[in-house]
Structure 1
């Protein structure tokens, strides 16, 4: 059976991982990325890759050992503070923290992960500055990609949308769009934090630092490049920026957001925002419906945020996306399902059903964690949740010992 010619829209972790896995199986593929080049800096915190998903995909791609050389196990620790600066939980001091399911999730900066996979691909695989407009079907049922600069690239057997929240591929198979999740705020960054703001560096620590109040939080994450990524988020209406008169792109946005949303926080915690770099970004967090599905199309499918956009509060997004890449690669290659006899369309349909189930489970967990991040009782609710999970985990282990 002839191998398909695959177009992958989106050069993030899921799209690049899929390309790498297909190339290892000698399947022709091209990646089309809207960024003008590989050096465009994408904001956002670092990523923790889980052993059963993100790391598993890298292992099959032959990149796990290089990932381990780049990753930061010290970045796994979590601290939680109340708005007055009281320490509610601090894993870095050896205190009880999250249950064992959170173990072995080392952090890596987004740019490092992207470069790791990108550099492993065959030259010419990724076509930058390629913003997709639409997908057309040819008379022979193959697909043509139409780009914003007027280019048309033809003769694809399968198009995979790995192009994120506002996917340009998704409208070809579904009219569902992301909706506002109720969470918004300011995306900040503190560069060269050790030298410029040692007191903030000490507060954040080497991993993640959550300063949680009632339905709000200052959520910080140490990156490997010497910066701290910070999100000053709260439950607010979708039009909050406009009704509050705050322009998030202006330097005074930091002070206005602190005054409006975080007046009860300690001076040190307020400094996380006030002393951050002036190039802030306003963020409204969107999500796709939990359990979202689409009518099967034998030539177009979705993975990652394009398929199941969810908020970052469970820390699973990139891992679910890379697991998508791994499972989709298996479906395209035909491993384990009779490559010579099972039509690609059937393998894709099974992949989608399995992905939908996996995504629904993770989306439900994400909603649960969002409600802990933005709880009326602040960080106390999250600490109590982790204590309950540790207790349940211990009981399960004890029962296993008794039954063995």
Structure 2
């Protein structure tokens, strides 16, 4: 099959996260048709998670290409750039307060960012409730998407924007995410200024990080008077069940955590004892470094599907920059295959370099900060 011109191609994005939606938005701005398939049953079917910082040198570049940068700044929280570093006694060892006009990496809630991107798309762009099972068809195309509900769809280009456990990735690479040895346990706090005033004061308007070399916690202010806390430990991937507990056993997990963090300040321990609702276990996974693949003329990847890395403020920014680069390549190339070659020529070296810099980075979250106060 001869690779079609992008304007005549059936383009399928798998995954309606920030990367997939950014790609779809920019493609539509260039007059290219696209369909996004997502496993969620609708835009409000689940909580989208915590807060993201979008950087001026990648995430914001993508939003500018999407024509959404001004709208982003209307929704973003520049004050979220505040950062506090504390020791286990609760004493502040480092405190960064952003200038009033600082816009390098303002925060935005994931849900607000998703709504912004969704609202910018042509109605009907996202095909909800469609979980991809696998891809078939010859490498030169057309490809067939097989969904778990038994339906199929034919396409000329598959863009895998479906995250860590991508169903698109196996079409180009055998690589699978590996456990880093470090796990996050997420806790939520609601109506914090009234119901959790001491924690709100401790965290401030942005983030607060504490570590002792073996354990850590990172607390982050979200919009809507919420705080998320991530308890960070070097543990086996199945540490909860290995301790004779289940993820639903909030009181049992809490007792275990209080024992592990026993020598920390009582003020900090409130982030273990006072959370609203259950904990959420989030083991930190990463793809092998570097993760590359041989060129395929009808399939490519972006974001975590392409280069899953430790959560150090890079992932969503790289995903959105990938999306902008891929959409730009498709708008300029004579064929889909040429566009993929052009995109991967830029994306793969960039992601490999970043992955090397962040390799083992989950361990950095446990390290004691030695910056002066």
TM value normalised by structure 2: 0.93
Change in 2 beyond 3 A, CA 1:240/1:140? closer
Change in 2 beyond 3 A, CA 1:52/1:212? same
Whole-angstrom distance in 1 between the partners of 2:215 and 2:59:
29
Whole-angstrom distance in 1 between the partners of 2:6 and 2:272:
56
> C-alpha deviations, 1:46-79, integer Å up to 9, x for none?
0110112111111111111000000000000100
Whole-angstrom distance in 1 between the partners of 2:171 and 2:320:
23
Q: How far apart are residue 147 of structure 1 and its match?
A: 0.8
| Matching of residue 279 in structure 1 with residue 278 in structure 2 | yes
- Give the corresponding residue for 2:122: 122
Whole-angstrom distance in 1 between the partners of 2:161 and 2:359:
22
- Give the corresponding residue for 2:145: 145
Whole-angstrom distance in 2 between the partners of 1:259 and 1:119:
43
Mapped contact 2:6–2:32 kept (Cα < 8 A)? no
> C-alpha deviations, 1:242-294, integer Å up to 9, x for none?
22223232221442342343111111111112101122111211100121111
CA RMSD of aligned residues (A): 2.0
| Matching of residue 379 in structure 1 with residue 372 in structure 2 | no
Whole-angstrom distance in 1 between the partners of 2:113 and 2:98:
29
- Give the corresponding residue for 2:14: 9
Change in 2 beyond 3 A, CA 1:119/1:103? closer
Whole-angstrom distance in 1 between the partners of 2:276 and 2:138:
49
| Matching of residue 259 in structure 1 with residue 258 in structure 2 | yes
Mapped contact 1:210–1:217 kept (Cα < 8 A)? yes
- Give the corresponding residue for 2:214: 215
Whole-angstrom distance in 1 between the partners of 2:63 and 2:13:
18
Mapped contact 1:311–1:366 kept (Cα < 8 A)? yes
Answer 1 or 2: higher relative contact order, Cα 8 Å, separation at least 6: 2
Higher helix share: 1
Aligned ranges 1:1-400 → 2 under 5 Å: 1=5, 3=7, 4-92=9-97, 104-137=104-137, 141-154=141-154, 156-313=155-312, 315-334=313-332, 339-340=333-334, 343-367=335-359, 369-375=361-367, 378-380=368-370, 383=371
SS in 2 for 1:252: helix
Whole-angstrom distance in 1 between the partners of 2:48 and 2:230:
11
> C-alpha deviations, 1:337-373, integer Å up to 9, x for none?
xx34xx4323312321321211122223333643331
Unaligned runs of 5+ in 2: none
Change in 2 beyond 3 A, CA 1:362/1:254? same
Mapped contact 2:79–2:98 kept (Cα < 8 A)? no
Whole-angstrom distance in 2 between the partners of 1:272 and 1:168:
36
SS in 2 for 1:80: strand
Whole-angstrom distance in 2 between the partners of 1:365 and 1:34:
32
Unaligned runs of 5+ in 1: 95-101, 388-404
Whole-angstrom distance in 2 between the partners of 1:37 and 1:124:
12
Mapped contact 2:180–2:362 kept (Cα < 8 A)? no
SS in 1 for 2:201: helix
SS in 1 for 2:116: helix
